[in-house]
Structure 1
Amino acid sequence: MSKIAPSPTEHNTAACRSSRHTRVQHVIAADETSLAELEALLSTLPLCSTGRVFIEIPDDTACTDIAVPPRMVLTWLDRSRRSGAPGTGRGCASGEALSRAVIAWADEMLCDDGDATRIHLLGGYLGTADIVEHLTGVRGIAPAHIHTPPRYGLSSPR
């Protein structure tokens, strides 16, 4: 009896172990106000998902247990330990650390015009708007490929 190889896009234990399995990269951004949305999103991802999760928090007391797929990296961005805009002497404003981190990651990691990275931005409006502006204006990513809360009105209808 011959064994049928899993398809490159199928998601089950055998498929995810295959070297030919297509792994879509994710970049997910959230803040302390969107942790419930973040956990709901993460629970829908296959275990074989790869990518980065950035979470901006006011200080380290806001860290909590967040389960991410094993091939994803979780980065906590503590605003109390970061400075604001260079030369201002101000502290890091809400959304500022998140937008800087995601924009830097995108500039380094989104290299291919055919990139199938899935982008989910769940943080506050200001940081999310900055990220969307950079991704669409500088990186040339179609707004329809960026998932944001509908209440922000930042993404095009799918």
Structure 2
Amino acid sequence: MTSADHNAAACRATRHTRVQHLIAADEHSLAELEALIATLPLCSTGRVFIEVPDDTWPTDLAVPPRMIVTWLDRSRRSGTPGTGRGCAPGAALTRAVTGWADEMLCTDDHATRVFLLGGYLGTADIVDHLTGHLGMPADGIRTPERFGLATAR
């Protein structure tokens, strides 16, 4: 489904189904993220998590009005509790996405569209959590084809 499949009148209709989106990206996938967001209907709802190295990266990202963008600054986050280490690439994104999914995804309803554009390790951990812990079908999760994860393309 693309933004071309919708118009303003359809989005305002009371019976119009709004599909929730969960999108995860990092500093290496910002162009991919912007291309994906450009295809979303104006009536899309959901959450966008973006992990970046520091606070110089966040910008205004034009998302549909019912979507929330959260920038995750790695330089301000800790690594594994008790280690004293800094946050490794992918760790903040994994924690944020899995925490949000645990709270917000209904176990009986897998209508949420998931797009994981971040690095391989974080993406693999998120896929494992969504499919293993939450029972989400792998074919409902989109990941970069280059990762070779058993998900929909």
- 2:130 equivalent to 1:146: no
Q: 1:86 corresponds to which letter in structure 2?
A: P
Alignment of 1:26-37 (within 5 A): 26-37=21-32
Alignment of 1:1-158 (within 5 A): 11-157=6-152
Q: Is the 8 A contact 2:51 2:90 kept in 1?
A: yes
Name the aligned partner's letter for residue 152 of structure 1.
Answer: F
Q: Cα offset for 1:152?
A: 0.4
Does the 8 A contact of 1:143 with 1:154 survive in 2? no
Q: Give unpaired runs (5+ residues) of structure 2.
A: none
CA distance in structure 2 between the partners assigned to 1:69 and 1:146 by the alignment: 20
Code of the aligned partner of 1:93: A
What amino acid is aligned across from residue 13 of structure 1 in structure 2? A
* 1:88 CA displacement: 0.6
**Structure 2 counterpart of 1:4:** none
* 5+ residue gaps, structure 1: 1-9
Moved more, 54-63 or 10-19: 10-19
Cα-to-partner distance string for 1:74-114 (whole Å, 9 max, x where unaligned): 00000000000111110000000000000001000111412
Question: How much does 1:157 deviate?
Answer: 4.8
Cα RMSD for the two superposed structures:
1.2
Output the CA distance in 2 between the equivalents of 1:57 and 1:156. 25
TM-score scaled by structure 2?
Answer: 0.94
Q: How much identity, in percent, do the aligned residues show? A: 74
2: CA distance between counterparts of 1:144 and 1:58? Answer: 30
* Contact map agreement 1:146 1:155 (CA 8 A) in 2: no
- Distance, in Å, in 2 between the alignment partners of 1:11 and 1:121 is 24
